[in-house]
Amino acid sequence: MRKQSKLKSWNEIKTNDSWAIFKIMGEFVNGFESMSKIGPCVSIFGSARTKPDHPYYQLAVDVAEKIVDHGYGVITGGGPGIMEAGNKGAHNAGGTSVGLNIELPFEQHDNPYIDPDKVLDFDYFFVRKVMFVKYSQGFVVMPGGFGTLDELFEALTLIQTHKIETFPIILVGSKFWGGMIDWIKSTLVDEGNISPKDLDLIHLVDTADEVIKILDGFYTQYALSPNF
């Protein structure tokens, strides 16, 4: 009896998995149709837990304002913390402010600085990450946690393996990121797990002006377009 019960449960799971394809497809279609209209944008990533009185919050606001001043819009994960700061900077500067929100049991809720017609809600992290990678002209990565690291290393892997076109990946905050960069150099490179030239995919800066210098320098050589 127990074996039959487990078999029935497994068959139900398989059926549900099959129907989930249509929900996933719907998220992709809605995302592609919406994001294809926004124009050139830069994504800002970072912790949802960063408070408005933290220096990194204000730095993210400043970075976003300068990004808009130089002709780009801003995409964030749509939530609080650094994401809110990025949308706030874009909003303050009168630029495009996009939020790709994700349903989570904690932390995540839409921030008030996203353009009302540019809020997209996702159930699936992998669909959301496709939108970031395809439609961002650069990643500005502020201090964050596991989610920030996930987005950072997925982009690096896709560029390294030539699955997408190269775009600037800019880490902001040498005090925060410096230890990780040192580990990458002393361990990943020295062990032969990555090539020394892979380090060229990452830029480490501390100011909004440095972010803009890297973005503008890159796009004097390359056209603005989706990354795959």
Count of Cβ atoms closer than 10 Å to residue 20 Cβ: 12
Placement of tokens 């074996």 in the chain = 3
Name the band, by pLDDT with cuts 50, 70 and 90, for residue 1.
very low
Average pLDDT over every residue of 115-134: 96
Report pTM. 0.91
What is the chain's alpha carbon radius of gyration, rounded to the nearest angstrom? Answer: 19
* Residues sharing a CB contact under 8 Å with residue 5, sequence separation 6 or more, in sequence order: none
CB 44 within 8 A of CB 75: yes
Q: What is the mean pLDDT of the chain?
A: 93
Count of Cβ atoms closer than 10 Å to residue 113 Cβ: 22
Residue 141 has pLDDT above 90, yes or no: yes
Count of Cβ atoms closer than 10 Å to residue 75 Cβ: 31
According to DSSP, residue 118 is labeled G
In the chain, what are the domains? Answer: 2-218 (3.40.50.450)
CB 43 within 8 A of CB 140: yes
* pLDDT digit string, tens, across residues 48-63: 999 999 999 999 999 9
Residue 217 has pLDDT above 70, yes or no: yes
C-alpha 127/C-alpha 123 separation (Å) is 8
User: Strand 169-172 to strand 119-122: parallel, antiparallel, or no bridges (unpaired)?
Assistant: unpaired
According to DSSP, residue 72 is labeled -
Q: What is the largest CA-CA distance in the chain?
A: 69
* pLDDT digit string, tens, across residues 166-202: 999 999 999 999 999 999 999 999 999 999 999 999 9
* Residues sharing a CB contact under 8 Å with residue 29, sequence separation 6 or more, in sequence order: none
